[in-house]
Amino acid sequence: MSLFRQLLQLHDERQYKKGVKVADTILKKNPEHGETLAMKGLILYNMGEKESGLDYVKRGVRLDLTSHIVWHVYGIVQRQEHKYEDALKSYTQALRHDSENVALIRDVCTLSTHLRQFEPLVEQRLFMLKTRPSMRSHWISAAVALDLAGHQDKALLVLSDFEGTLSDLNNADASLKYEMSEVYLYHISILEKLDKYQEALQMLTDKQSNISDLVAWRESHARILTSLDKLDEAGDAWRLLIQSNPENKGYYIGFFKTKKIDLTQNLEEKEKVSALKTLGLFYEQFPKAGVIQRLRLDLAFKESFKDIAHEYITSRLTKGVPSLFVDLKSLYNDVEKLQIIGDLVEGYRTELEKSCKYSSTDDKTQPTTSYIWTLYYLTQHYSQIRQYEKALETVKAAIEHTPTLPELYLAQGRTLKRLGNQAGACESVEIARELDGQDRFLNGKSAKYLIRNGEIEKAEQLLSLFTRKAAPSSAYDLCDMEALWFMREEAKSYGQKQEYGMALKRLHQVFDTFNQWEEDQYDFHIYCLRKYTIRSYLTTLKLEDELRQNKNYIDSAIEAVRIYYQLHDDSSLVEKLTNPQSGLPDKKAQKKAKKEKEKAAAQQKAKGGKDSDGLPAPVEDKDPQGYELLKTEEPLGVAVKILAPLANTKRIDLHHVQFEIAFRRGKFAQAMKALNKTASINPDCRMLHVQSLKLKQALESDDKQNAEVKEAIVESLEKIIPKDVNLESWNADYLQRNHHNPLRLLGAAEAVVLIRGEASAKEAVNIVFNVDMKLLDATSATQIKGFIEKYDSERLEAFRVKLNTQFPYSDVFKSDEQKENEKRAIEQTRAKRTEAEVEQNK
């Protein structure tokens, strides 16, 4: 065996130290052997010496540009650095010099799938199929590639040819039977996709004995019969499925399609009556099936709804189901149903107080717990419909009746949170936690409310009860476990405290989590096709394609972008945040932290780089405060990268920040595109009004734009601000049209500042200062308060007093004295609870 072949074998066996020695032996004789340099670089990279390894690989590429090995190695390193597009280029270059290398082609196929470059994928998969037609996986891989590329007809031909190569499956081993079962189901799914329902039905019938997934066969059978309008047969098929699982809502939806009733759409009264009658028969057959009862509530109306709701609610109040309100909340979109539910439950409360019965005609006496769960439901009911005072009165009565039920304090906390009283909400949830200190949910909920109240350190200390003791901190462990709620809440809290470094740190940890989820699919491109989990694999690909449409990602992106354009607008902000003049850390504390860090490092070194749990020691956090994120030289460039995956996402607040970034970068065409998206959602939007005015003024003073581009932008902008219109009149019209909307009043006030200049800012303040307080909600009130603070601080206190009167619970509008008094009162109640607990434990 030659030394180079030995080097390749040692790499494959992961004997890296021996591999380096062999590579050095070769390089002594031939120091410019490109392939050896590349392999040595790959081994060093895998040993953790990434910079040195990458340097060797690049040298190897430069010295032997015609070797497929050096390009393949370079692609492997780029792939490990998550530079997938560069890696694919390197693999493609390698293929030019060795077009029949199976391992190389497999890597190219995996990367092509990962990057959703399906046409090159088809080409390579078909080549592999022609090269090795005896391998079953090549047939399936080719069919999947054609399907992904949109060539379903060709995929069917490949699958049909493949199925024709097999015979006597009845005597095959179990693994082959399973594989072919999945292949047949995949084949049928493609026929469905192409609306070839008759062929799909025929195949489903012919291959029934070869399909081991009985549930999937039955679902496909029922679905195809429905599509073919064989309604009687389809109805029987759906009934069979319902009998096997009466809790599956999809089966009922499918069944009613055979009756020409679509439960996913708004139905006419006649259709509802018919569906209710049928559901009633199902209910007699499956009386314990909750989904049937819930569907009846969706369809019922007037008196029939009242009767069904009475049965549904009382049975669950008697059982003490805490999630009852969450279950019924979607019905609140119907005003009539909302009213009926409210009247019913309020009636239960009255009768239970009198006679421990739900109504005067009931024979059965209810347990005492029914009363408390009724009060619990009413608390959530009144909180949902924004009758917060009633909600607080109800929960107070409930707590007086049963002070040991944690759910009551959670409901109280949720109501106070909606009122803006974060301190009071936090205290209520903390009391709930203290009632059951070992409950992970209650501890997590309390920590969440503590973070919202700005008590981040205390929250992390609380969460440390449930995180790894060997982890550097509870925050580190939670981020490592991808706890999105924790990262999102801390990011918002730090942002409110204007600690933008830590806010960006948490937001980027959210982005890193989504990136990791996206990268996690890489191994499945090989694994799923090898294991024949084809249908699940395709579902996963679809999920991955929509990954960044998740609300957590979009919200995080918007928050991060707002911070970045603030950093761009105020260059002194970074200096203020990274070099605070007050609150410097104590030198003794710094020294103590340094010693603890050195001690922990020494312990990990003694254990071979592992922590006390035997897991790899965490990498040192070189930016614990997020200062490096703040110091970025191109904040707008970073913002553009964050927004890139959301280019086709339709959400109005996202379009606002897309405009702000494009406007600041001088990309007025992109800014106009964002305005058009906003206008398509809400043509009277406050931000559209202000941002379109900013763009018009910028265009008038700009002489750098291409004339044709500028003309196109102006033409598009004229749909929002008419040509040659007087801006004062235009703004006055907007103000008159939207005088009932506080946020749009604010938009008109902001427009006055833009039109007349900041010298007229106090006149703009007049527009919002005397706004009708009854029209305000907490969000609009906060934004108007910020506007007054910026342009007329002398009147800020008077406006704050008005807001405090309108929103007496909200922390944002309280004076410092009020906040201090509340803080002192909470501390006193906490001290009393602690004393009582100590006395009880004696």
In the predicted model, is pLDDT for residue 590 greater than 80? Answer: no
pLDDT for the residue 588: 46
Residue 598: band (very low, low, confident or very high) from pLDDT cuts 50, 70, 90: low
Average pLDDT on 808-818 reads: 93
How high is the pLDDT of residue 734?
A: 95
Structural tokens at position 240: 């069979």
Q: Please give the pLDDT value at position 110.
A: 94
Alpha carbons 254 and 248: distance in angstroms, whole number: 10
Q: Quick one: CA dihedral 693, 696, 698, 701, positive or negative?
A: negative
Which two tokens mark 771?
């706004």
pLDDT in tens, 82-128: 999 999 999 999 999 988 888 899 999 999 999 999 999 999 999 99
Q: Which contacts of 725-732 are long-range, i.e. CB under 8 A and separated by 24 or more positions?
A: 727/693, 727/751, 727/755, 728/755, 731/689, 731/693, 731/755
Residue 199 has pLDDT above 70, yes or no: yes
Asked whether the predicted pLDDT for residue 817 surpasses 80, the reply is: yes
Confidence of residue 589 (pLDDT cuts 50, 70, 90): very low
With a cut of 80, say whether residue 609 has pLDDT above it. no
Domain boundaries, given as residue ranges, for the chain: 1-99, 229-299, 300-398
pTM above 0.75, yes or no: yes
Smallest CA-to-CA distance from 396 within 411, 384, 418, 381 is with: 411
Widest pairwise Cα distance in the chain: 102
pLDDT in tens, 778-812: 999 999 999 999 999 999 999 999 999 999 999 99
Give the CA angle between residues 188, 192, 197 to the nearest 5°.
95
List, in order, residues 6 or more apart from 783 with CB less than 8 Å away. 743, 746
SS (H, E, C) 725-737: CCHHHHHHHHHHH
Integer CA distances (angstroms), 224 to 218, 229, 254, 378, 751, in order: 10, 9, 11, 45, 58
* pLDDT score, position 705: 80
The class that CATH gives domain 1-99 is: mainly alpha
Distance CA 181, CA 217 (A): 10
The DSSP secondary structure of 191-218, one letter per residue, reads HHHTT-HHHHHHHHHHTGGG---HHHHH
Provide the pLDDT for residue 814: 93
Q: Classify residue 664 by burial, with Cβ atoms within 10 Å: 0-12, 13-18, 19+.
A: middle
With contact defined as beta carbons under 8 Å apart, do 544 and 514 qualify?
no
DSSP run (H or E) holding 487: helix 484-496
178 token code pair? 């399973």
749 Cβ neighbours under 8 A, 6+ residues apart: 764, 765, 767, 768, 787
Q: Which residues contact 817 (CB under 8 A, 6 or more apart)?
A: none
pLDDT at 607 over 60: no
Which residue is associated with the tokens 């049209």? Answer: 737
Confidence band, pLDDT 50/70/90 cuts, at residue 592: very low
Contact (CB, 8 A) for 496 and 639: no
Closest listed residue to residue 550, CA positions, set 503, 484, 491? 484
Length of the chain: 842
Find out whether 131 and 102 touch, Cβ atoms under 8 Å.
yes
Could you give the CA distance from residue 614 to residue 197 in angstroms, rounded to a whole number? 56
Q: Give φ, ψ of 544 to 5 degrees.
A: -65, -35
Asked if 68 contacts 101 with a C-beta cutoff of 8 angstroms, the reply is yes
Q: Is 762 in contact with 748 (CB distance < 8 Å)? A: no
H-only helix segments in 81-135? 84-97, 102-114, 118-131
Distance CA 72, CA 78 (A): 10
Q: For residue 594, what pLDDT is reported?
A: 57
| Residue range 133-143: mean pLDDT, rounded | 93
The one-letter amino acid at 747: G
User: Comparing C-alpha atoms, which of 548, 768, 570 is closest to residue 651?
Assistant: 548
If you average pLDDT over residues 469-476, what whole number do you get? Answer: 88
The pLDDT score that the predictor gives to residue 600 is 57
Lowest mean pLDDT among 464-478, 527-541, 592-606: 592-606
**Pair 687, 747: CB distance under 8 Å:** yes
Coil/strand/helix, residue 827: helix
Q: Exposed/middle/buried for 598, CB within 10 Å: 0-12, 13-18, 19+?
A: exposed
Q: Give the residue among 675, 642, 623, 498 at the shortest CA–CA distance from 570.
A: 498
Residue 579: per-residue pLDDT: 82
* Amino acid letter for position 628: E
What are the structure tokens assigned to 729, written together?
Answer: 């009149």
CB 826 within 8 A of CB 427: yes
Bridge partner list, 616: 610
Residue among 839, 782, 773, 837 nearest 813 (CA): 782
Summary mean pLDDT of the chain: 91
Dump pLDDT digits (tens) for 233-247.
Answer: 999 999 999 999 999
The pLDDT tens digits for 721-740 are 998 899 999 999 999 999 99
pLDDT score, position 583: 45
Summarised one tens digit per residue, pLDDT across range 334-373 is 999 999 999 999 999 999 999 999 998 888 899 999 999 9
What residue type is assigned to position 447 of the chain?
Answer: A
Q: CA 705 to CA 667: how far, in whole Å?
A: 9
pLDDT of 165 reads 87
Model confidence pLDDT, tens digit, residues 670-684: 999 999 999 999 999
For residue 703, name the pLDDT band (cuts at 50, 70, 90).
confident
Task: Return d(Cα 150, Cα 593) in angstroms, integer.
Answer: 59
- Per-residue pLDDT tens over the stretch 635-693: 999 999 999 999 999 999 999 999 999 999 999 999 999 999 999 999 999 999 999 99
Give the highest mean pLDDT range of 316-320, 620-624, 838-842: 316-320
Burial (CB count <10 Å: 0-12, 13-18, 19+), residue 451: buried
Using pLDDT thresholds of 50, 70 and 90, give the confidence band for residue 469: confident
Using DSSP's 3-state secondary structure scheme, residue 356 falls into coil
**Angle CA 478–480–485, to nearest 5:** 45
Residue 643 one-letter amino acid = L
C-beta separation of 741 from 774 below 8 A? no
The average pLDDT across 16-20 equals: 92
Contact between 397 and 425 under an 8 Å Cβ cutoff? The reply is no
Measure CA of the first residue to CA of the last residue in the chain; give whole Å: 79
Closest residue by Cα to residue 219 from 255, 180, 195, 171? 255
Angle at 728 between CA 724 and CA 732, to 5 degrees: 115
The share of the chain scoring above pLDDT 90, in percent, equals 81
In 3D, which of 112, 78, 190 has the Cα closest to residue 127?
112
Question: Which three-class secondary structure state does DSSP give residue 523?
Answer: coil
